[in-house]
Amino acid sequence: MVKKNLPKQVIILSLVSLFTDIASEMLYPVTPIFMSTVLGASMAVIGLLEGVAEVVSGFFKGYFGILSDKVKKRAIFISLGYGLSALSKPLPGIFPSLAAIITARISDRLGKGLRTAPRDALLASYANGNSGAVFGFHRGMDTLGAAIGPALALLLLAFFPKNYTLIFLIAFVPSLIAVSFTFFVKDNFVSKEGKKKIGFRSFLKTAPKEYKIILSLVVLFSFANSSDVFLILKSKAISGSDTLAIVSYIFYNLVYAASSYPLGLLSDKIGKKKIFTFGLLVFSVVYFGFAVAHHFVFAILLFALYGVYAASTEGITKAWVADIVPDEMRGTAIGLLTMFSSFAIMFGSFFAGILWDVVSPSAPFYFSGSVALLLAVLTLIGKKSLKR
């Protein structure tokens, strides 16, 4: 029987993500612009930083996913992870330099690595036939924060033009609010299994075939799906305005937030595979569009579609995994998935930066769109192995 009402703990975790993303996304669209225009960093350096940050995050997502399964605790990792991310926010404001940005970005990703797999496993434990709705609601709240954050950044820049360091300092406030909510998070292990050997190797030996296929698809797609900073910078190149580039990113997040819960509910009814495949096709359209876009209105429409893509894949993938992996192994399963995808994003982001610098600004978009289209076709073909 599908549980229609969302549990209190799902709402609390969603509020934590809401305020954390308000803080993080105040900085996310500002940071690459600050690095390129103020500090003079090249696209390859920006791509490499994003890639390294994802590797740090990915490695610890895997490690702490396993650890949370072993100790049968999730809440402690959630509190520590969000706390570390909060402490990293004001560093570039206090010490405006490339070194401070690197330290803050990596510390923030370390915090994300600490909390992500345990949090997602905890969310899954509260699902009762409605994993799509649970993850969709959480992603919607998380992404609403991603829309509010850049809007606040724009407001601050309107009153304090080019004062990027001030934004880094103010982002600390919503981070503290998020941390305060983590003290109300409670563990909920639904499995009654006793102690068993837990590790990536032992898990992969016994993992369902469907999980292994999902893992392969996500990792391959992650290499093509480079950091969103390239979309922001492409939008800036089209519009010639920092403000309009950030407006595009806000619009994307609003569409993403509005679409996540409805698409999550739909995935519970028609299956995660269909929604995920639809997301890959939308991604392909968006990236081919950005490759040829020369008008800001066209870029805005593409960002709206990009929000639909994100709502069709990110939370849906985790809900898909939660449906096929038992509770006592969900931290490991989600940690492994996010770890390998983060490694792929690292190489993909650096590769995209090189394509931008060496070939053309359109090259990484053609590449990503082509890979996504190919994977969508392969997913449609795999009817027997991918049923959900």
314 occurs within a structural domain: yes
Predicted confidence band of residue 13 (pLDDT cuts 50, 70, 90): very high
| pLDDT over 70 percentage in the chain | 89
User: What is the model's pLDDT at position 2?
Assistant: 42
Q: What span, in angstroms and rounded, lies between the C-alpha atoms of 86 and 82?
A: 6
User: What is the model's pLDDT at position 44?
Assistant: 67
State the total domains in the chain: 1
Q: What span, in angstroms and rounded, lies between the C-alpha atoms of 23 and 1?
A: 38
* Residue 129 Ramachandran class (φ > 0 left, ψ -120 to 50 alpha, else beta): left
Q: What span, in angstroms and rounded, lies between the C-alpha atoms of 294 and 297?
A: 9
200 occurs within a structural domain: no
Contact present, 35 and 41 (Cβ < 8 Å): yes
Q: How do residues 147-175 score in pLDDT, each as one tens digit?
A: 898 889 888 888 887 777 788 889 999 99
How far, CA to CA in Å, does 160 sit from each of 98, 152, 165? 21, 12, 10
Domain limits at 77?
8-179+205-381
387 occurs within a structural domain: no
Q: What span, in angstroms and rounded, lies between the C-alpha atoms of 79 and 178?
A: 10
Compute the average pLDDT of residues 205-216: 88
pLDDT of 192 over the 60 cut: no
197 occurs within a structural domain: no
Contact present, 362 and 350 (Cβ < 8 Å): no
336 occurs within a structural domain: yes
Predicted confidence band of residue 38 (pLDDT cuts 50, 70, 90): low
Q: How do residues 170-189 score in pLDDT, each as one tens digit?
A: 999 999 999 999 999 998 87
**Which amino acid is it at 327?**
D
* Residue 162 Ramachandran class (φ > 0 left, ψ -120 to 50 alpha, else beta): left
Residue 150 token pair:
């850049």
Q: How do residues 240-260 score in pLDDT, each as one tens digit?
A: 777 777 788 788 889 999 999
User: What is the model's pLDDT at position 264?
Assistant: 94
211 occurs within a structural domain: yes
267 occurs within a structural domain: yes
Residue 139 token pair:
């992603």
Compute the average pLDDT of residues 354-374: 87
pLDDT of 206 over the 50 cut: yes
Residue 251 token pair:
């619009």
Q: How do residues 101-143 score in pLDDT, each as one tens digit?
A: 888 888 888 899 899 999 999 999 998 889 999 999 999 999 9
CB atoms within 10 A of CB 155: 11
388 occurs within a structural domain: no
| pLDDT over 90 percentage in the chain | 38
Q: Domain of 305: which CATH number?
A: 1.20.1250.20
User: What is the model's pLDDT at position 282?
Assistant: 95
Contact present, 348 and 318 (Cβ < 8 Å): no
Q: What is the mean pLDDT of the chain?
A: 85
What is the reported pTM?
Answer: 0.84
pLDDT of 386 over the 80 cut: no
Q: What span, in angstroms and rounded, lies between the C-alpha atoms of 126 and 128?
A: 7
Predicted confidence band of residue 3 (pLDDT cuts 50, 70, 90): very low
Q: How do residues 79-96 score in pLDDT, each as one tens digit?
A: 999 999 999 888 877 887
